[in-house]
Amino acid sequence: MAKKSKIRVRIAPSPTGVLHIGTVRTALFNYLFAKKHKGHFILRIEDTDKERSKKEFEEDILENLKWLGIEWDEIYRQSQRRDLYSEYLERLLNDGKAYKDEIIWFKNPNKKVVFNDLIRGEVEFDSSVFGDFSLAKDMKSALYNLAVVVDDYEMGITHVIRGEDHISNTPKQILIYEALGLPVPQFAHLPLILGPDKSKLSKRHGAVSVGEYRSDGYLADALINFVSLLGWSPQGVDSPEKEVFSLKELIDKFSLDKVQKGGAVFNIDKLDWFNSIYIKEKDIGELTDLSIPYLIDSDLIRPEFDMEQDPPAYGGYFLKQEYVVSETGDKIGVDKIKKIVGLEQGRIKKLSEISDAVRFFFVEPEYSWDLLKWKDMDKEEIGRFLDEAEAVLCDVKDSRFDEKNLEKKLLKKANEFKDRGKLLWPLRVALSGRKKSPGPFEIASVLGKKECLKRINKAKSLL
Q: Which residues bind ligand GLU (CB under 6 A)?
A: 12-14, 46, 148, 162, 166
Spatial CB neighbours of 67, under 8 Å, sequence gap ≥ 6 = 210, 214, 220
How far is Cα 334 from Cα 336, in angstroms, rounded to an integer?
A: 5
Q: How far is the CB of 24 from ligand GLU (least distance, A)?
A: 12
How far is Cα 64 from Cα 212, in angstroms, rounded to an integer?
A: 11
- The contacts found for 99-103 with CB under 8 angstroms, 24 or more apart, are 103/134, 103/135, 103/136, 103/137, 103/138
How far is Cα 105 from Cα 88, in angstroms, rounded to an integer?
A: 13
Judged by beta carbon, residue 22 or residue 433, the one nearer ligand GLU is 22
Judged by beta carbon, residue 164 or residue 388, the one nearer ligand GLU is 164
Judged by beta carbon, residue 13 or residue 39, the one nearer ligand GLU is 13
Q: How far is the CB of 146 from ligand GLU (least distance, A)?
A: 12
CA 106 to chain centre: 41
Whether residue 92 contacts residue 145, with contact meaning beta carbons closer than 8 Å, is answered with no
Q: How far is the CB of 261 from ligand GLU (least distance, A)?
A: 19
Q: How far is the CB of 162 from ligand GLU (least distance, A)?
A: 4
How far is Cα 319 from Cα 312, in angstroms, rounded to an integer?
A: 11
Q: What angle do CA 447, 453, 456 make, to 5 degrees?
A: 100
Q: How far is the CB of 166 from ligand GLU (least distance, A)?
A: 5
Q: How far is the CB of 46 from ligand GLU (least distance, A)?
A: 4
Q: How far is the CB of 270 from ligand GLU (least distance, A)?
A: 25
Whether residue 338 contacts residue 269, with contact meaning beta carbons closer than 8 Å, is answered with no
Judged by beta carbon, residue 209 or residue 437, the one nearer ligand GLU is 209
Whether residue 120 contacts residue 126, with contact meaning beta carbons closer than 8 Å, is answered with no
Q: How many CA atoms, within 13 angstroms, populate the side-chain half-sphere of residue 108?
A: 16
Judged by beta carbon, residue 12 or residue 264, the one nearer ligand GLU is 12
How far is Cα 346 from Cα 179, in angstroms, rounded to an integer?
A: 60
How far is Cα 261 from Cα 265, in angstroms, rounded to an integer?
A: 12
Judged by beta carbon, residue 20 or residue 253, the one nearer ligand GLU is 20
Q: How far is the CB of 169 from ligand GLU (least distance, A)?
A: 7
Judged by beta carbon, residue 187 or residue 323, the one nearer ligand GLU is 187
Among candidate residues 232, 154, 207, 179, the one with its CA nearest the CA of residue 352: 207
Judged by beta carbon, residue 169 or residue 233, the one nearer ligand GLU is 169
Judged by beta carbon, residue 162 or residue 428, the one nearer ligand GLU is 162
Q: How far is the CB of 43 from ligand GLU (least distance, A)?
A: 11
CA 405 to chain centre: 40
Q: How far is the CB of 344 from ligand GLU (least distance, A)?
A: 39
Which residues sit opposite 74 in a β-bridge?
42
Q: How far is the CB of 314 from ligand GLU (least distance, A)?
A: 43
Judged by beta carbon, residue 148 or residue 256, the one nearer ligand GLU is 148
Judged by beta carbon, residue 14 or residue 275, the one nearer ligand GLU is 14
